[in-house]
Chain A
């Protein structure tokens, strides 16, 4: 099994961290992983994206032009990546700020009210973990205990007290994924 994912949104939404936690979770599950960020002059409010690949076998290219799953968190990313999802693949998006919802008819489309749920949870910074949970519902590529281990590995010890709150957000996202279109 190989899962090729693009996570794209605004800088500051935790796009790169979400990819990193997913990659660590893959390592914990003994998978091959690669994490390639868009790096450069990105900053809060600019666009940011990361390509994450999880695989049972050796990963060839860390850079891709089509994806099994696109996790899309703003309109610019929708415009850029909607057409790059493989036919039959998965697109997950947060409708917050999306003016033009996805139009593809040959892919599975899901919604997650990540921004709303994170606000309800009382910490908007858990947004990316809500989205991660939603993704794991659509694509159970790693188990929840691997995510917990991934969080432990990727967060510095001084932030470990935040892990329960993050896991709650993952769980909430897992429960809140809405199917828009199945193919």
Chain B
């Protein structure tokens, strides 16, 4: 079984990539995720598993290296932080359009613009609603612990290959920089060229084999009729994700009269809030979306029938609120509490917000 270590979230991303049989990492340094590439360079996995680790000349270059490597059926990962992900947006749209699997890690920092290097969750819209152009979706996973930084690398690849779609691990400076105990996954060997051909030969550009048609990877289609068909195929894929891949976690919701909804590091803060509020006699529970797309609409709709109000807690100006409102309907108030610009809300602050915005109001 896996190995117990004390590690930073960012370091774990690197370790998990090596252990899950990743073929390559391409990236460009940016705080607060630089430990990802630092750890990879330190580990020198090219000697151990043959994994390529390359510092590109920019984020734009690194995402297009991901595009190229993913096109050949390779298991590839990149990481960056908010401004770097914005630079990658064009490439991400192309990869989604060309239907290629890859994992992209965003260790968010405060924005907009160059912003701050402190933690934030203000890339929720960018990750779940677009970021790049066109009707595409990313599978978005929001880890809330260092352990999940390990687990979601493999999960991200599993979903990315299942749907031939980019998966994003949306985390932030809190989880990236925090050290916790983690049980690292066991090693999975990298696929051989033969195995890649066997599994992905129907679409990967891994060299045309005798008796096989040319595989073409492109997001371009000049015929709008055919382009609409491509779009419909993508939409069917996203609908299937919404049916089959929703993940969420509930804390003390059984008898809850009020509900907190929070993802990632905010959900950790809110677990403490639940404890503090319950000491004061407030019956509050927490729903934590693990997949931000597909979004856990049904469990929120079900809890909305039980509770008197919902407080959405995020380190942003309220980007997830509208998704929660759509799921909860109009019968109960859905309010927001958040801090911005790199400020992390404290568990006590959230209790106050709960009292002021929902219970007192």
Contact = CB atoms under 8 A, between A and B. Distances in A.
Determine the interface band of chain B, counting residues with CB < 8 A from chain A: 20 to 34
Contacts of B349: 65
Interface string B144-186: 0000000000000000000000000000011001111100000
B96 interface: no
Interface string B212-230: 0000000000000000000
A64 B347 contact: yes
Given A33-B6, A65-B347, A60 B178 contact: no
Contact of A153 (B6, B174, B346): B6
Contacts of B118: 40
Contacts of A153: 6
B272 A60 contact: yes
Contacts of B32: 39-40
Nearest to A53: B180
A20 B11 CA distance: 15
Of A24, A37, A64, A65, most B-chain CB atoms within 10 Å: A65
A40 B178 contact: no
A63 interface: yes
Interface in B272-286: 272-275
A155 to B, nearest CB: 13
B285 to A, nearest CB: 14
Contacts of B272: 60-61, 64
A65 B344 CA distance: 10
A55 B273 CA distance: 17
B6 A61 contact: no
Interface string B98-120: 00000000000000000001100
Interface in B228-287: 265, 268-275
Interface string A55-69: 000011111111000
Interface in A22-42: 23-24, 27, 32-37, 39-41
Nearest to B351: A65
Nearest to B179: A35
Contact of A36 (B177, B181, B270, B348): B177
B31 interface: yes
Interface string A122-162: 00000000000000000000000000000001000000000
A35 B178 contact: yes
Contacts of A23: 6, 179
B6 A27 contact: yes
B268 A60 contact: yes
A104 B346 CA distance: 22
Given A62-B268, A63-B269, 10 more contacts: A24-B6, A33-B180, A36-B178, A39-B31, A39-B32, A41-B117, A60-B269, A63-B174, A65-B346, A66-B348
Q: Which 5 A-B pairs have the closest CB atoms?
A: A65-B346, A60-B271, A61-B272, A35-B179, A60-B272
Interface of B: 4, 6, 31-32, 117-118, 173-174, 177-181, 265, 268-275, 344, 346-349
